[in-house]
Amino acid sequence: MAVLLELRDCRLAYPSDRKNQPDRLALAVDELTLREGDRVALLGRSGAGKSTLLRHLRDGLADSASWCPQQAALVPQLKVFHNIFAGALERHSGFANLKNLLLPSPRFREEIATLAQPLGIRELLWTKAEELSGGQKQRVAIARALYQRKPVLLADEPVSALDRRQGRDILDLLSRRHGTSVIAMHNASLALEVCNRVIGLGDQRVLFDSPVDQLDPDTIERLYR
């Protein structure tokens, strides 16, 4: 499989909360390779560096990755339709984007309605984002990521507000629409069902990087002790 990105001797940091103090280490990555076809789950306790690693991968993959952040980051005053369409802004001219804001074209209406149907939000397309529940907002953010139409998906807890069955269905959909994915998840058992590789983070480093079929429950359990 083709290599998409390699990290070696990488030290990811974040600014100190104290003035004039050096940046603080968030995650040390000695070696990590992302290949086409990988469906990677990032597992670890809160603060283990999953979001930090995703942001770094996003910088490295440039324009080839769709992005689904942990917070939906929707524009509250805009309708669901326009929040999803935001995933395609770079594909169209400024004039076309402005025109679609004021008078959405039949083409874009149909594209987004079709995309929204399996996510269960088709009937919400003309509802303002500020009126949605947490789970509905999360599904809109997923639809926006899908509408970016990139070969790689980077997602930070994309189904955390959904129940297990909904989460499984949507993760399956995301996997079908993207050849490669890296997804930070809090549900380890669900990650094992939908991914083919798991990277476990803890103590500011990569603790293991393993195919799913070579993992045992104790290895996963140790991440959360």
Please report, for residues 45, 179, 182, 185, 204, the alpha-carbon distance to residue 5 in angstroms, rounded to integers and kept in the order given. Answer: 25, 14, 12, 21, 21
What's the chain's average pLDDT?
A: 94
Dihedral in degrees, nearest 10, Cα atoms 157, 161, 166, 167: 20
Q: What is the CATH number of domain 3-71+79-222?
A: 3.40.50.300
pLDDT at 139: 96
- pLDDT average, residue stretch 12-27: 80
Q: Please say whether the dihedral angle defined by the alpha carbons of residues 90, 96, 101 and 103, taken in this order, is positive or negative.
A: negative
Closest by CA to 182, choosing from 208, 217, 156, 143, is: 156
**Residue 151 burial (CB count, 10 A):** 15
pLDDT > 70: percent of the chain: 100
Contacts of 73 (CB under 8 A, 6+ apart): 141
Tokens representing 19 are: 């003035």
Please report, for residues 10, 63, 145, the alpha-carbon distance to residue 141 in angstroms, rounded to integers and kept in the order given. Answer: 30, 18, 6
Distance, in Å, from the CA atom of 195 to the CA atom of 5, rounded to the nearest integer, reads 18
pLDDT at 2: 94
**Would the pLDDT of 62 be above 90?**
no
Distance, in Å, from the CA atom of 17 to the CA atom of 28, rounded to the nearest integer, reads 20
pLDDT at 15: 74
